[in-house]
Amino acid sequence: MIIKDCLNLSIKKLISSSTPQCDAEVLLSFVLKKNRSYLMCYYDKQITSKEQMLFEKLLLRRMQGEPVAYLIKRKDFWSLSLKVDKGVFIPRPETELLVELVLNWKRNKISKVLDLGTGCGAIALALAASKINWSILGIDRNKKAIKLSKYNLSRLKLYNVKFLYSNYWFSKVKYLQFDFIVSNPPYLSKSEFILFNKNIRYEPINSLVSNIEGLYDIMYIIHCSKQYLVNEGWLFLEHGWKQKDIVKKLFKKNGFKNILSFKDHAQKDRVVCGQKK
């Protein structure tokens, strides 16, 4: 079978995906060990039976809802290509807003940053790659995530970021303070998880779902963060697009000042930040 026919057939099979052409091209590129432009230039090239068999196996898993990132064990975030795997949350494009905001924030000194719930290290590594004089610490309660983030760190050869396992949010940083604390915590309610289950059921539920209608972890982080921030330090939190008002109230209730909210590139409320008084 030639590349063009292989893609056309697979796109029809991926009708339940919101991005069938992209999925098919990424999977076939992965199998062929080529980039996507190669598929366009050599669309009439024959693929081997071995390549077709592997592609069809991956295609079947994608048709069943498994994320492309898990199938190819890679996810692009910011300017980085990161290894991802089952059992670790897949970084989302909207989370790049957190990175963009922190990098562009007006501070006149070298900054120390804490990334809470670092996952595969996406936020921490993006910040570290962009600000080589900053000191970044990423922590997570998922041991597999820490192992994966350390792998990504070694592959990217960055020397200004560390990753630590922590059985709860701040348990390993009791005597440290930071200029910035950033986090993309779990913020789905249990009912939302059921509603979206088809698209996210392969990812770790602890990285997605929080008690108290998706707000428990956000409440905990806001409540505890001030003791881990330097004077005038900033907390940046990603949240669900309907949670902006309650999150801003929580910042205010816990004594933060200069509370601001930001929309992602889809124009949905996505990040709230506040400054320690």
Token pair listed for 195: 């509603």
Residue type, 148: L
Between CA 163 and CA 144 the distance in angstroms is 12
- Can you give the pLDDT at residue 108? 59
Domain boundaries, the chain: 3-64, 78-276
Q: DSSP 3-state assignment of 188?
A: strand
- pTM (2 d.p.): 0.91
Q: Can you give the pLDDT at residue 109? A: 76
Flag whether 187 is marked binding.
yes
Q: Please name the residues in contact with 5: beta carbons below 8 A apart, sequence gap of 6 or more.
A: none
5 known ligand binder: no
Q: Is 118 among the annotated ligand-binding positions?
A: yes
| pLDDT of 199 higher than 80 | no
214 is in an annotated binding site: no
CB 208 within 8 A of CB 89: yes
pLDDT score for 107: 67
Nearest CA among 154, 158, 157 for reference residue 127: 158
Measured CA to CA, the distance from residue 265 to residue 260 in angstroms comes to 17
Annotated ligand binding at 217? The verdict is no
Instruction: Measure the N-to-C terminal CA separation of the chain; round to a whole number of Å.
Output: 65
Query: 78-276 sits in which CATH class?
Result: alpha beta
Q: Is 117 annotated as a binding residue?
A: yes
Say if residue 65 carries a ligand binding annotation: no
Token pair of 112 as six digits: 């120390």
Flag whether pLDDT at 92 surpasses 70: yes
What's the pLDDT tens digit per position in 104-140?
997 657 789 999 999 999 999 999 999 999 999 999 9
Q: Give 196's pLDDT tier (boundaries 50, 70, 90).
A: confident
Residue 45 has pLDDT above 80, yes or no: yes
67 is in an annotated binding site: no
**Residue 44 known to bind ligand:** no
Q: Average of pLDDT values for 142-155?
A: 96
pLDDT at 192: 87
Question: 3-64 adopts what CATH topology?
Answer: Helicase, Ruva Protein; domain 3 (1.10.8)
List phi, psi (to 5°) of 173: -130, 35
